[in-house]
A and B are shown apart, each in its own frame.
Chain A
Amino acid sequence: MSFWRGLRGLVCALVGIYLLAPLLVVLVISFSAGSFLRFPPPGLSLQWYHNLLADPAWLDSLAVSLQVLLPTGLIATALGTAAALALVRGKIRSAPFLAAFLLSPLVVPGVITAAGLFLMFRLLGLNGTLAGLVIGHVVLTVPYVVATVGAALRVMDPALERAAAGLGAPPWIAFRRITLPLLAPALASSLLFAMVLSFDELMVALFNGSATLRTVPVQMWSNLRGDFDPSIAAIAALCFLVALLALVAEAWLRRRA
């Protein structure tokens, strides 16, 4: 029995290192004083961060990413929350089927969605526009909102809403005063996750963006494919820190829920 316990501990340790090591390496190497991306770095400096801030290509891509992720997060959270409310509370007979449809972008490979959108946007003139990127990202993030808010609604006691209604609150007041505050952590966590997903998304950004409309992942992609600019270590480290902050914020929200 203790042999299996030891093996379990060993696998846990190895998997933990396997999951964490790459991210730590990126963090360390972004401060490298060397001119190659070698680990361990020969010395420490902020040169890659300076390069990053001096390079308009990276700054432009960051601006594009922010312009996409903010509307994406808000629209996806609004659409997904409304849909989750209807699916969980609406007593619709076809709810399981509709839920499966709303979740289906999760299982369809991103390249297929992006290529399809490219065909459609060609007819509508939406390729290479911010609106096109936002539409694509909303489609990819709505399923996560539906799942997160739906799960929160399912564990919420419907008696609270019924009590409000029984005490004479009109449906809208009951929703605003009872349901919405109870849902707030799930909404915030959906918004956060939708924005992080949009910030990380590559396929739609690659297919439906353009040479002048590049998000951070597209810029990273072309860097990793072609001329290897070590500034990528700095942007990667920043992305990792954003992810870390988002994860901690989400855990905090969940504890409040």
Chain B
Amino acid sequence: MRGRRLGPWLLLAPALLALFFAFALPVGMLLSRAFTEPGSFSTLWQTPVYLQVLGNTLLISAVATPVALLLGFPVAHAMAHGGARLRRLMLFLVLLPFWTSLLVRSFATIILLQRRGPVNALLLNLGLAEAPLPLLHNLTGLMLGAIQLLLPFVILPLYAVMRRIDPGFMRAALSLGASPAQAFWRVYLPLCLPGVTTGGALVFISMLGYFVTPALLGGPRQTMVAQLIQEQVAQFGQWGLAGALSLLLLVAVFLILGIAWRAASSRSVTP
């Protein structure tokens, strides 16, 4: 009998120990540097550039999240309620980036957006621009690159939720006299909200920690906090500052997770 109680713990032990010693402990060591090295936080508060980077990171993530949600919503809707062929095609197109290296996709975005790249050629040919637009190493480049990476994170949770919405609810609303717009706003959208919160939180969290995309596609003014942490460690060996920045980044991540968690549990509409 004792063996049966011990069994699951023996199975769990290797993974738990690995994650404790090679994840929780190292992250804890990094964060503790913020407190063991004196003046880490005061340096952070007193350097306007660092505060600007923190503000930028929050702002960029806050802008990217609704854009990704707005673009992802119709795609998830089509996947959930459209034909089987469309669903398979879109699922493939959404999963492909998931499996493709971040660097490959950033490199591809550089090729597309460069001064004499195909996007600028298209804009010129359509008469939408008179001279090649600067699309790289600025906010445009960062957003175009990042949202492409973020779309799967909104589309997949939204699709998972929409697929389970009984079409009978919409028919009932319509037959009870609701206009299509009313049925959408009052019935369909509230049922989608768990997917919106999950997807939105995933996008926000991922964007907060992005490193490659802002470094390759953004400009100096779009420097994000992950780049700052890397720079403090790799170039200056400022572990205290890196720890303080990491702590703030983690607090932001868990705050978003907490909000999403509360929103999801307080509004459980699943029958």
Contact = CB atoms under 8 A, between A and B. Distances in A.
A8 B100 contact: no
**B interface, size bucket:** 35 or more
A43 interface: no
Contacts of A105: 19, 23
* Residue with the greatest number of chain B CB neighbours at <10 A, chosen from A83, A109, A224, A233: A109
A9 B90 CA distance: 11
Contacts of A142: 15, 18-19
A168 B117 CA distance: 68
The prevalent SS among residues of A at the interface is helix
Contacts of B98: 247
A105 B18 CA distance: 12
Nearest to A21: B112
A136 B22 contact: yes
A19 B233 contact: no
Given A107-B253, A112-B250, A240 B104 contact: yes
B107 A224 contact: yes
Contacts of B124: none
Contacts of A243: 96, 99-101, 104
* Residue with the greatest number of chain A CB neighbours at <10 A, chosen from B19, B94, B116, B230: B19
A29 B112 CA distance: 11
A111 B232 CA distance: 11
B77 A8 contact: yes
Contacts of B159: none
* Residue with the greatest number of chain A CB neighbours at <10 A, chosen from B8, B78, B94, B205: B8
A9 B151 contact: no
A12 B75 contact: yes
B172 interface: no
Interface in A9-42: 9, 11-12, 15-16, 18-23, 25-26, 29, 37-40
A117 interface: yes
Interface stretch (A50-58, A152-160, A180-188, A194-202): A194-202
Nearest to A140: B23
A236 interface: yes
B71 A11 contact: yes
Given A11-B71, A12-B75, A116-B26, A92 B8 contact: yes
Interface in A94-135: 98, 101-102, 104-105, 107-113, 115-120, 135
Contacts of B26: 113, 116-117, 119-120
A68 interface: no
A48 B171 CA distance: 57
Contacts of B151: 15, 18-19
Given A26-B108, A135-B22, A111 B103 contact: no
A105 B24 CA distance: 9
Contacts of B215: 225
B51 interface: no
A25 B111 contact: yes
Nearest to A143: B19
Contacts of B103: 200, 202, 217, 220-221, 224, 236
28 contacts: A9-B78, A25-B118, A26-B107, A82-B12, A82-B15, A83-B14, A86-B11, A102-B15, A104-B24, A110-B211, A111-B246, A115-B233, A116-B26, A135-B18, A135-B22, A138-B18, A200-B100, A200-B101, A200-B102, A224-B103, A224-B107, A232-B107, A233-B111, A236-B101, A239-B100, A244-B99, A247-B98, A247-B99
CB-based closest 4 A-B pairs: A109-B209, A90-B8, A22-B108, A116-B26
Given A16-B89, A243-B100, 11 more contacts: A8-B74, A83-B12, A83-B16, A85-B11, A92-B12, A108-B27, A116-B28, A116-B29, A116-B31, A200-B100, A224-B106
Interface of B: 7-9, 11-12, 14-16, 18-19, 22-31, 33, 71-72, 74-75, 77-78, 86, 89-90, 92-112, 116-118, 148, 151, 180, 205, 208-209, 211-212, 215-216, 226, 229-230, 233-234, 239, 242, 246, 249-250, 253-254, 257
